[in-house]
Amino acid sequence: MINAVSGVSGTGCKASLGNSFCEVSLQPYGIFTHRHQPEIACHLGIPVIFTPHLGNFARGIMATITCRLRPGVTSAAVAASFHQAYDDKPLVRLYDQGVPALKAVVGTPFCDIGFKMQGEHLIVVAAEDNLLKGAAAQAVQCANIRFGFAQTLVLC
């Protein structure tokens, strides 16, 4: 299950009173019909329930992913998996203790990821600035990769 809260800049809509962060109340949308659900499920290779929410803040995305692990999976094994996947990704910051907050990523090109475990339950929290890591900075990073520059050139 994935719940993601996006600031009003992530709506992709023209500015209007209805999506002004002063007027928006935290609300889910696109329940069972959001356009990104099929690509998330395809990428992960498993069915997912994705519920996006619109938050009353200007920018940023906070995603909370809830999973049930196979019996015997340890916190150390989960941490090792995250490090294996992301240690060579210069714009991903892993939290070994705790979970990220939006204030740590707004205005930066980083995606911060942390997790908590209890028994067989894993909750992963990811935060990014949707206008940078989610859009502009991601485009610059891709151009840097394409032309053989360091991924972080002009970003950090």
| CATH number of the domain within which 42 lies | 3.30.360.10
User: pLDDT for 90-111, tens place per residue?
Assistant: 999 999 888 999 999 999 999 9
Q: How many domains does the chain have?
A: 1
For residue 18, is it within any domain?
yes
For residue 135, is it within any domain?
no
Q: Which domain holds residue 105?
A: 2-129
Confidence class for position 138, pLDDT limits 50, 70, 90: confident
For residue 149, is it within any domain?
no
For residue 88, is it within any domain?
yes
Q: Which residues are CB-contacts of 110 (< 8 A; sequence separation ≥ 6)?
A: 91, 92, 93, 104, 128, 129, 133
For residue 134, is it within any domain?
no
User: pLDDT for 6-51, tens place per residue?
Assistant: 988 765 556 666 666 567 778 898 999 999 999 999 999 999 999 9
How many residues are present in the chain?
A: 156
d(CA 5, CA 12): 14
Confidence class for position 79, pLDDT limits 50, 70, 90: very high
